Amino acid sequence: MPVSVARIAVLALALLAGPRLAAAGDLADFNAAVEKAAGHNRVAIGYLRTGNLDLAALEIDRLREAWDRVAQRFTTKRPAAFDGNPLYGPLWTTESTRFVGIDLMIKMGKPDAVANALNGLRGDLYALRKASGIVVLADCVRDANAIMDGFMVYNDRALDWSKAEVAADIAGKASVYGSVLDRCETIAGDATRKTPEFRRLIDGAKASLAFIPQTIAKRDADQLHRVLIELRSFDNLLAFRFG
């Protein structure tokens, strides 16, 4: 019995969809594997912030093991989403060298240098994904951190409210930061978005932002200081847990 035209069409669509689905799966697997390593990176940086180099070193060992698994799987198996990305190939050598430097800095007792190296790994992954138009939650949180850095310039009780551009810029930065939080919430996906920890941080930051218009209207530098400290706290916790 001859194959129907409809059946041929279905088979053709399946053949076309197969490579696309496989490519999407490769990227999802890559992102998941990298996120496992990134989790250890975040914890290590957290320990370094509290001055606990010994616990940071233990977490870095776990990070190295997780990164080795990423490298073994993906060094020669580039996800299609990274095709043509010039940062992909050098990534593996760069990070291998970085881990050698981290070991040396740990032995020398230089926690700041270790933290800089760990943040360098995060930055390299951010740049890699950005070059291919890929955004994950960690990247969105990094963007939020950068905006918050700029916002903190107004953490000044001697703020000159007589300058009209001051109020306008504060309002603008608050709006941009809120928009980025909305984007992070969307990128996070249902599972993460519903977790109590994520909700507490996102909702807490948005609640703090809601005070900005009132603060501007009152020209209250003390209140602005309190709001910015709250926002910085939520922002740091987002970076520590999801960045």
Any idea how long the chain is?
243
pLDDT single digits (tens) 211-231? 999 999 999 999 999 999 999
Q: Write down the pLDDT at residue 58.
A: 95
Helix or strand or coil: residue 161?
Answer: coil
pLDDT value at position 25? 58
Higher pLDDT, 129 or 1: 129
pLDDT at 8 over 80: no
Question: ∠134-137-138 over CA atoms, to 5°?
Answer: 95
Nearest Cα neighbor of 61 from 79, 45, 40, 87 is 40
DSSP 220: -
Mean pLDDT of all residues belonging to the chain: 88
Express as a percent the part of the chain with pLDDT over 70: 90
Does the global pTM surpass 0.85?
A: no
Pick the closest to residue 81 from 31, 143, 39 (CA basis).
Answer: 31
